[in-house]
Amino acid sequence: MTGPPGAGALILAGYLLGSMPVGLLVGRAVGGLDLRDVGSRRTGATNAMRTLGSGWGAAVLLLDLLKGLSAVLLARIAYDGPAAEWVAAAAGLAAVIGHNWSVFIRFTGGRGVATTGGGLLALSPLAVAAVLPAMLLVVWRWRYVSAASLVGAAGAMLVTAGLALSGVGGWPPVGYALAAGAIVIGSHTDNISRLRAGTERRIGEKEVMRGHVQR
């Protein structure tokens, strides 16, 4: 594929890949529930973990990550031209948008963390290697998934920019990290409020199954 039509087709494909409501499908298959009706009402891995258990939550995490990874790799393989990496980054960003606002479930979805990570893994493995330990440290020390997600989003912006400025990395990952990171941070506004208030839910606390709105 070449030119704007090819780029547009691959970006659309990225959006549709991201829109696949993995968490919703897993929730219905193994728990007979709609993740949009319980907990944080999000379809991502954290809500799946709290409502379905850590094993199924990990499965949703992996599948959501693969959506972003696949969108970038598909575009990279299929698009031929000097803007190939920018098209790949745009396709990855489209997957994040699709995950958060899926056309298949009335533009609802998750918070985009795992899908963003999958896209970044394809675009800049070095950035993932730099940011992931900080995220794991936050989870281990404070047991807040939301805080780790925010650290990861902000860290990816800084690290990709640093790699580009040093000549080690390119600018498409920077554009991706800035845009996807902004989406991730914006989707965590309620978590940020609870972190400030000291009421954010920690890892290991099971989600109440009556539509409790906290994450």
3-class DSSP string for 89-153: HHHHHHHHHHHHCEHHHCCECCCCHHHHHHHHHHHCHHHHHHHHHHHHHHHHHHCCHHHHHHHHH
Mean pLDDT, range 37-42, rounded to an integer? 92
Please choose, from the candidates 182, 120, 104, 198, the residue with its C-alpha nearest in 3D space to the C-alpha of residue 150. Answer: 182
- State if pTM tops 0.85: yes
HSE-up of residue 189 (Cα within 13 Å, Cβ side): 4
pLDDT on residue 213 = 38
Asked if pLDDT for residue 215 goes beyond 50, the answer is no
Give one DSSP letter per residue of 139-205, joined into a string.
Answer: HHHH--HHHHHHHHHHHHHHHHHHHHHTTSS-SHHHHHHHHHHHHHHHHTHHHHHHHHHT-PPPTT-
Asked if pLDDT for residue 206 goes beyond 80, the answer is no
> Residue 21: what are its φ and ψ, rounded to 5°?
-80, 70
pLDDT on residue 203 = 85
CB 95 within 8 A of CB 119: yes
Asked if pLDDT for residue 70 goes beyond 90, the answer is yes
- pLDDT band at 212, cuts 50/70/90? very low
Cα distance between the two ends of the chain: 41
pLDDT on residue 147 = 97
Rounded CA separation 93/95 (Å)? 5
Three-state DSSP class for residue 83: coil
DSSP class of residue 82?
A: T
Residues forming beta bridges with residue 108, ordered by sequence position = 102
CB 143 within 8 A of CB 204: yes
Q: What is the pLDDT of residues 113-148, one digit of tens each?
A: 999 999 999 999 999 999 999 999 999 999 999 999
Q: How many residues does the chain have?
A: 215
Three-state DSSP class for residue 7: helix
Residues forming beta bridges with residue 102, ordered by sequence position = 108
pLDDT on residue 142 = 94
pLDDT on residue 37 = 94
Query: Whole-number mean pLDDT of the chain?
Result: 94
